[in-house]
Structure 1
């Protein structure tokens, strides 16, 4: 399992995975948590903060299935705590920072223990948490802002990430009763990444960023079929060797795509 960094440049490669992610978000936030304002007839959670600037972090299986996801937006563009926004007025008592080095994180989805079991669900969620910090280090992001439900706030703090409230906990109506969340700043950077690795036991890099698609009009999916074939091998050692070779091939192909795009 890797966490794929999906940007506007390579988004056409992930059309199926993004569609699955939007449906998962609707299942989790509308059906699961009762956020009725997000309900859509097509069963997909998409809002005004899913923009061209949005970066999605998708924890994908070797056949391309989505196990967990998160959404990141630069505070220089549209985001949930933007100035004069409804959510900012509701959750933030003071203005959040705005900078190209400050991003907003939202729509953290992961786990699905009822589908995959508690251990695998925990692993996929840990992958996304590590990926948040790994992405921040790669993009030179120094801190992030979010509207966090109280369990998510506790989870971030358990990772050793410094969090600073932008307001007080606010209750809100759901189809299942009252929810509670607050707006907060959470630190990012090498120290936070190291802390996340220590807490989760994930030592190796988890984020994979595919090269830009050459022709944005024509979808160019990552070769998940090759990865699935490698995963079918019986021996764990053979699986590991095959998957390592396939990932190396994908890296090589992506670099070739990038060189073509630059020529």
Structure 2
């Protein structure tokens, strides 16, 4: 069990890769207000951390995240303001992940349900173990997974999202990969190695370029086609003025490895 004084979210950094680990396995790493506050605070720290180039979001135990803490929710059923604050903070955390300058990779091991599935969907990339399972089962208890739906519907097709939301059924890792919820499925023993290789590959790029690209990716998704092309053309023009873009072009033409200045 987690010691009462243990951090709800563990943080470790090595070679530019910061791993954030949900650390309350005895409560299925549920997104209680305390967990959401801890996660929000640490994401805020990472956003301004110049050492971190890639973030890995992991969890201790057999459950990645069971979603909202229903016992906590039950105690607030007569307090609308308290309930609104839970969903406001949860929505903030999901947006913090999307808006983080660094790419975020979910280490999807175990079960991720409801807002836990939302957490996986909010990450930029996700690698799952073969035993991982996912669901948005709110419909089974009379509480439609409306906020998880936001991240889910932006990562998988409408038909697949509606299937998960309407049936509430658990899906396996292979099905999640087919649907686009995760990028890769690997054996449990290969999970950490695969994620480290992916994170290391990304960490070797210019962090300035990654920041530009990640922000542009999510912004253009919300635009019409013509506006998206106009916006990304401006982004590329500005990107070419960056030192790393100029270094990268010269290095490519000179057939040498680039030396990034991260600006």
| Same fold (TM > 0.5) | no
Identify the structure with the greater helix proportion.
2
Structure having the higher strand fraction is 1
TM (norm. structure 1) is 0.27
Greater relative contact order (Cα < 8 A, sep 6+): 1
